[in-house]
Structure 1
Amino acid sequence: MTTRKQTCFEGAIVKNFNFFLEHTEQYKVMLPHLRYLLLPEFERIGVGKSSLDVLGVGSGGGEIDVQMLSMLQSVFPAVPITADIVDGSVELTDSFKVLVANTANLQKIPFTWHIMHSEDYEKQVKAKEDMKKFDFIHMIHMLYYVKDLGETLKFHHSLLKNNGRLLIILNAAASGWVTMWKTYAKELHACTNTNEPKVHSGDVIASLKSQGLKYDEYVIPSSFDVTECFNPSSTTGEHLLSFMTSTENFSQSFTPDVRAGILDLLRDKCSTIKDGRVFFDSSSSCILVHA
């Protein structure tokens, strides 16, 4: 039985995250790019293998995981697949389990659930004499939450089997996300109780280069409509701004001057305006690290 406890991603934070996904359709934008990139990679990864093992780190509600596992199944329909899932949220993991239960083709895949921070999973794995290795590991928009980027990348790369791939997706260095978090670093970090800068693609690539790891990078361009963020009475705008600033309640988390400054920055430096609507640049970087 799962222990019901407060973990690293629950309550209002999950509510704002789910609202963001529903309102922006970011995953729907991402999927065509992932199909284009991953199908040939899966063909290479699985050549000559009698089984395939997948590790998802920070998988959340599993919306992308089920799509990638289905892709892998389509490439190797007769090869057994296992999936290990690491996530710090009980709430989102429960949603993932429901999604699996309602996806017929995933019934034959055995899932192992690790409801914990990625650092705790790393400690647990290192304590074992026989570490499980994986053909495909993915970390999608989760590296923002790790304490030591270099060690995290090094550890997960060490879990790759021969010819395996580590997929990393996070905010592109030139995206509106990075502009916002750099410009208002002091105020945003004060609200999130952290002094650590938000990791972006440039940081990951610098770390991979320093470790001598081979990788390929692809930019996934995307944007979403933030026009409602400029309407102070809009519930939609409040939810979006709360998610974007990692606060439970944007309008109550900052002084009027800081709120106004963030909104000016979003409109003038992080977005484009089309037909009177404001579209925030949420481009992601997709990095495939070779074993």
Structure 2
Amino acid sequence: MDTFNESVMAAEAKQSCYEGSSVQSFQFYLEHSGEHEAILKFVHNSLPGEFKRIAAGKSSLDVLGVGSGGGEVDVQILTLLQSTVPGVPITVDVVEGSSQLTDNFKALVAKTTNLQKIPFAWHIMHSEDYERQVKAKRDMKKFDFIHMIQMIYYVDNLADTIKFYHSLLKNNGRLMIIIETANGGWDTLWKTYKKELCVQDITEYRSSGEVIACLKSQGLKYDEHPIPNSFDISECFNPSSQTGQRLLNYMTATDNFHQSFTPEIRAGILDLLRNKCSTEKDGRVVFNSHVSCILVHA
């Protein structure tokens, strides 16, 4: 999932979910789902106004990306920020558990001329480890804009994570959380088959519903913006389709969908995908993968 589904568990023993074959599976998903394109469209339409508000009266800006993955979306966000507030110096900190994806991000920065003068600080670690490190240091660096794109699934404690990153916001700053929408296709799939799916990196599936409940309980002010997206999963229903197999592997976070579940569970998941998570259009099965952007005020 951004990104994307991108920064991960606290225990050092657990590897990041995006190394090796997982990276390939994730890239394959991105090519088929149009998710980055949907998020980038939203970013370009909605963030310039936010950036102007955040930057008002400030002589420099500090940005933090948490779970930034290969940096495809970050690079676009930073380029947009530069063009919205030209001449304002920017610093960037990146927290990402995958060394492989961080290398991809660094290579992208090296190719992007306008970003080469920006100082980047790379923290190759999980979100919880960054939190521990920052708290131990005492002189917390504060940020004007913090974004967590498709990564909140992987943190151990949702409330603590939101509280910590919100505490790092400077005056008038924003924390942007992008996550699958409540009652969308992902939410339906992962909550219906929680017992079978929430067994590895994701032990508790979350959607925008859980995040908003958490923000309300902490009394935080936020705005929610829908990001519509859907993609064709018709191939998932063709047992001999390699594309369908790879999509099912990604969507259920397994290495081999057909070997990982009993015939009953497989049939149940496919039935749910077709009838509860998707719509049929011109004989094709189109999965509802709507996303929510939640902007939390400082």
Counterpart selection for 1:76 from 72, 82, 85:
85
In the alignment, the residues of structure 1 paired with residue 120 and residue 201 of structure 2 have an alpha-carbon distance, to the nearest angstrom, of 34
Structure 2 counterpart of 1:60: 69
- 3-state DSSP of counterpart to 1:54: strand
The Cα of 1:63 is off from its aligned counterpart by: 0.8
Report which stretch shifted further, 60-69 or 10-19.
10-19
Counterpart selection for 1:12 from 17, 21, 45:
21
In the alignment, the residues of structure 1 paired with residue 198 and residue 204 of structure 2 have an alpha-carbon distance, to the nearest angstrom, of 8
In the alignment, the residues of structure 1 paired with residue 201 and residue 55 of structure 2 have an alpha-carbon distance, to the nearest angstrom, of 43
- 3-state DSSP of counterpart to 2:270: helix
- 3-state DSSP of counterpart to 2:58: coil
Unpaired segments ≥5 residues, structure 2: 1-13
Structure 2 counterpart of 1:256: 263
In the alignment, the residues of structure 2 paired with residue 55 and residue 80 of structure 1 have an alpha-carbon distance, to the nearest angstrom, of 14
Structure 2 counterpart of 1:270: 277
Corresponding position: 1:30 with 2:39? yes
Cα-to-partner distance string for 1:143-201 (whole Å, 9 max, x where unaligned): 000110000000000000000000000010021000001111111124x276x320110
RMSD (Å) for aligned C-alpha atoms: 1.3
Structure 2 counterpart of 1:288: 295
In the alignment, the residues of structure 2 paired with residue 101 and residue 275 of structure 1 have an alpha-carbon distance, to the nearest angstrom, of 44
Report which stretch shifted further, 51-60 or 11-20.
11-20
In the alignment, the residues of structure 2 paired with residue 184 and residue 247 of structure 1 have an alpha-carbon distance, to the nearest angstrom, of 13
TM-score of the superposed pair, with normalisation by structure 2: 0.93
Cα-to-partner distance string for 1:228-253 (whole Å, 9 max, x where unaligned): 11111111111111111111221221
The Cα of 1:204 is off from its aligned counterpart by: 0.5
Cα-to-partner distance string for 1:212-243 (whole Å, 9 max, x where unaligned): 10000011111011011111111111111111
In the alignment, the residues of structure 2 paired with residue 15 and residue 263 of structure 1 have an alpha-carbon distance, to the nearest angstrom, of 23
Matched residue type, 1:103: T
In the alignment, the residues of structure 1 paired with residue 197 and residue 16 of structure 2 have an alpha-carbon distance, to the nearest angstrom, of 21
Percent identity over the alignment? 67
Structure 2 counterpart of 1:204: 211
Between the two proteins, the alignment pairs up a number of residues equal to: 285
Where do 4+ consecutive residues of structure 1 move more than 6 Å?
none
Unpaired segments ≥5 residues, structure 1: none
The Cα of 1:6 is off from its aligned counterpart by: 5.0
Counterpart selection for 1:226 from 218, 233, 238:
233
In the alignment, the residues of structure 1 paired with residue 187 and residue 263 of structure 2 have an alpha-carbon distance, to the nearest angstrom, of 22
- 3-state DSSP of counterpart to 1:261: helix
